[in-house]
Amino acid sequence: MDGPQVARAEALLGLLGLSVRDKDVHRGPLTVAHAEEAAIDVIADLLHWLRAHGCDPDGALDRAQAHFEAELPEAA
């Protein structure tokens, strides 16, 4: 699956891989499992940021889900 959304997420997760918090985790490229956990952490951090700035995190999640689904390729 390619596209600008995937490229941006890969770039962000790559940045997170440069400063892995766990000392036991190899500092090389993140595994998919580590990347998944990092993505979940980023989503949670963004929800905190939204709330701290007076935004509605649930509404933002709903809109993000709608954007995500609208950008999915049509099922064949």
Contact 28, 38 (CB under 8 A): no
Whole-number pLDDT of residue 68:
92
**pTM for the predicted model, two decimal places:** 0.69
Please say if the pLDDT value at position 59 is more than 90.
Answer: yes
Per-residue pLDDT of 1-52, as tens digits, reads 578 888 888 788 777 764 444 445 554 565 777 778 888 988 999 999 999 9
Cα–Cα distance measured from residue 76 to residue 73, given in angstroms and rounded to the nearest whole number:
9
